[in-house]
Structure 1
């Protein structure tokens, strides 16, 4: 709110009277306009713009006046940047003020905020002389108090969302087991020698393992993909690839029957495997491979491609020996899942012997309960069994932060150092301690943390960048998000956010009262403030000193 003062007739008369005797008269609040009034914090500062006027025939031609802003509060004061003005006959570099017509001026003041400033008064004091003689100009009170709504961020931070270093537990993990059967040129018979290869033996083994442990392993299907190399006639290759598909599929069906497994066998064939051909050529050491690859790119017709490559007689002999045999094949793929423990099984195993759980299962176990003591016990156990894993330490820090135990949180984060989530949580702690620069440095190392935008929003509030803060909080329903919207004067959005805060607390109601005060809804504000104080009696003392709630608090106590 802007308060405007007008030059009073009394002040002008006094100035005229004193102009005759070589003295400088008193100035009054009418000579000054202060914006904002009351003063208001922006981040951690209290800025003020002071518009002043020296009346006509006030500034003696040999006078020098220094105006000094002072924000006075119980037990101390803060002094702002002074501004000096001079009369017309003074030789100097300060702003010259005409004796006859007077003069206007603008000066800026900025005071680092302290909580005592909630009950304060802004005064202007003067250091003045006329010629070599010092003269006294009485101090003038020009504004009352400081609205410190932005400072509520140091309270809303208590309910900020901390960053979780997620567990990697997966109930089901999809796996594949591949095998390859190679064929002789122009043949589709599965040779006994091919069935003794390592890949085929592993294929059979995984089928047997699945049959033996159907609780932990689940078979989805088996795929068969058969191919013919891209040499020879297309019609012949098509039939050949189809026959290879048939022989490979029969082999798979026989193995499923032997292991007594029932699943779909999805079989297909590719008549001429040009893609595989190109891949193998590119990876080979064939002398003319670049020429061959250019042929593949230039000619799309399969027969034309083959003829052009055969024209490279030396290269084609290398292809026939090194590449083409690798393409006469069938690929067998077992698609299956590794099934982890159920929630109940994890709980039971934790109770019986936690050491039998993997670190991922232990960290996941902590997500199965909302009880803080139980979660703390699980994280502690994880640090004992897996001391090199930093995620459990970060979990302990989160719990300590939620309890307001910042010392324990900091100690745990030392053990979690290096995690982006740990840096984000350390930034929250630094903010709560008023270390804005430290928080910014830590947040720069937390770009991938899940709560990065939320921490950044709180940091922007502390910096006084309310529009950016509101943008950072987009989609986040917290007390801090609502505070940013209130400070950004987006009252509709603030009301919606406050209504959507999960686990709303006393500070949520307090912010509703602040919002109601700003929108002139006194009755609603009284109701919200009463609810806040009923949940946290300490908020009564805060409200009694909060200029933003002056009207609301007065109505509450009627």
Structure 2
């Protein structure tokens, strides 16, 4: 073989140097490891079903050729090296290059940055983020060596449970229903005897009918109150006695009616309370205000100027012509006894109501039917009775609503939606809006659920809890904590974790029904990892996996435990 002369070697060296100068991509590729990438957050995190990332790239001086271009695409690769997701490209150009991109100075270097957000899917759970960078110069391109820049992905926010709370349409059933009837007995001037014509007036007929009905339906009579009055004309002492006598004669008349109908309670001492009220100046003032008497304003002023009855009467009588009209139109209606009979209607017993839902539900009121459903803990029995309610009382929204409520508990959201929509067709109220929001949330329509829950404000504590779930799913964790308030549930604890309150989260999960569940233990393990409490993390991971063996694989892939993957105690789970 011929040996190269010194002259030949020099020519080759000059040619290589010239080639390097003509193609700066080789130098850029050689020193690409000096590019410093910073990723926030790292590890990547899921919030509101998306992964958002901010990336900055710092270029050293004398690196980025003035006429070069460069594109850097962040990609996510699984453990097999397969690309499962790509983010948008970050484009850069030299200071003298044409095209789109952020400019990077050759002599000083520089920093470029960008933000991108992509939807999350399960393939992104256990991944690494790498940069695929390609530089260009004139017609030439060169791909740089792939560089890992971040890990992924913390998926804790996706653990939110859809335990949205529907609301029942409450019954207004009362075991005791107060009933009463009122009537008046009017008297002639200076008289206290009860005229037979008064006992035949329509209000007295209604009173007698009330007593007969109450006896027939076994009402419990509570008592009778009689307030008797005299008109404010004449001597005060006489009028006081007259009012007392009128109370007694009215009491005697009512006593006879009760005796005739065999009301046993009426035999009790004090059952009828007779109150002689004396002169009825308040009634006089009310009647005057309602009248068309010419001087009524003047008379009302007289009443306000003095509380002395005799002085009032004298002043009014001085208005001679007017007093004649008062004596004719106002005073007669004040000579009276006001009678009130009070009784309690006793509702059917629980046993009677339950039996009637099976034998003759048509006799039951809507309130009785809704109440009947609460007497059983069996969902099928509740459903049967609520269906009776919606069939018998189609214009009452609660029947459809409560059938829908049971469907939610049975996880049949399609049927629940049909019932809630029917309830809304009858009465679109806050309770129904909440329940429509519950169905939307179970169906994954967070925006629709949020709108429905906003319209449901005031329907009950359930609404705020449901708003809390929406807030978690929309990554508004401080609002979620606020909406959950003092609730101690898995979701309220999760919201605290995501809001940075690990201590509060641990207290909430320990006070919740989920504390001994697989998910509860797993969340406590995450709290342990976030607070670097290995004992808390390892003990709860062990308990979680004992409850659900699938959580072992999840834990190994979960970036919450990234720092502990090589830890012997963690790996032994």
Query: Do both share a fold (TM > 0.5)?
Result: yes
- Please, which moves more after superposition, 442-451 or 217-226? 442-451
Deviations 1:391-436 (A, max 9, x none): 2333332233223332232233333333533321221222232211
Q: Find the residue that maps to 2:39 and give its secondary structure.
A: strand
The residue aligned with 1:152 is 159
5+ long unaligned stretches in structure 2: 1-19
CA distance in 1, matches of 2:207, 2:197: 15
With over 3 angstroms needed to count, the CA separation of the structure-2 counterparts of 1:503 and 1:462, relative to structure 1, is closer
Give TM-score scaled by structure 2 length.
Answer: 0.81
The residue aligned with 1:229 is 231
- Within-5 A mapping of 1:166-185: 166-185=170-189
Q: 2:51 aligns with which of 46, 50, 53?
A: 46
The residue aligned with 1:12 is none
With over 3 angstroms needed to count, the CA separation of the structure-2 counterparts of 1:213 and 1:145, relative to structure 1, is same
CA distance in 2, matches of 1:168, 1:197: 35
The residue aligned with 1:547 is 559
Give TM-score scaled by structure 1 length.
Answer: 0.83
CA distance in 2, matches of 1:50, 1:311: 98
The residue aligned with 1:261 is 264
The residue aligned with 1:117 is 124
Quote how far apart the aligned CAs of 1:279 are: 3.5
Q: 1:447 aligns with which of 448, 457, 481?
A: 457
- Within-5 A mapping of 1:46-445: 46-72=51-77, 76-80=84-88, 84-89=91-96, 96-126=103-133, 128-130=135-137, 134=141, 136-153=143-160, 156-157=161-162, 159-214=163-218, 217-232=219-234, 234-258=236-260, 259-262=262-265, 264-287=271-294, 289=296, 302=309, 306=313, 316-417=323-424, 418-445=428-455
1:461 correspondence with 2:472:
yes
Deviations 1:112-132 (A, max 9, x none): 222322223333444654567
1:511 correspondence with 2:536:
no
Contact 1:19 1:58 (C-alpha < 8 Å) held by counterparts: no
Q: Find the residue that maps to 2:360 and give its secondary structure.
A: helix
5+ long unaligned stretches in structure 1: 1-17
Contact 2:68 2:137 (C-alpha < 8 Å) held by counterparts: yes
Q: 1:475 aligns with which of 478, 483, 486?
A: 486
- Please, which moves more after superposition, 103-112 or 435-444? 103-112
Contact 2:165 2:463 (C-alpha < 8 Å) held by counterparts: no
- Please, which moves more after superposition, 55-64 or 324-333? 55-64
Quote how far apart the aligned CAs of 1:246 are: 3.1
Please identify the structure whose Cα radius of gyration is greater.
2
Contact 1:29 1:142 (C-alpha < 8 Å) held by counterparts: no
Q: How big is the alpha-carbon RMSD for the aligned residues of Structure 1 and Structure 2?
A: 3.5
Contact 2:164 2:441 (C-alpha < 8 Å) held by counterparts: no
1:484 correspondence with 2:500:
no
Quote how far apart the aligned CAs of 1:377 are: 2.7
The residue aligned with 1:32 is 37
Contact 1:530 1:556 (C-alpha < 8 Å) held by counterparts: no
CA distance in 2, matches of 1:225, 1:255: 18
With over 3 angstroms needed to count, the CA separation of the structure-2 counterparts of 1:331 and 1:96, relative to structure 1, is same
CA distance in 2, matches of 1:106, 1:302: 92
Contact 2:91 2:100 (C-alpha < 8 Å) held by counterparts: no
With over 3 angstroms needed to count, the CA separation of the structure-2 counterparts of 1:497 and 1:370, relative to structure 1, is farther
Quote how far apart the aligned CAs of 1:144 are: 1.0
Deviations 1:474-516 (A, max 9, x none): 2333332222222223334433433443587544444344444
- Please, which moves more after superposition, 361-370 or 380-389? 380-389
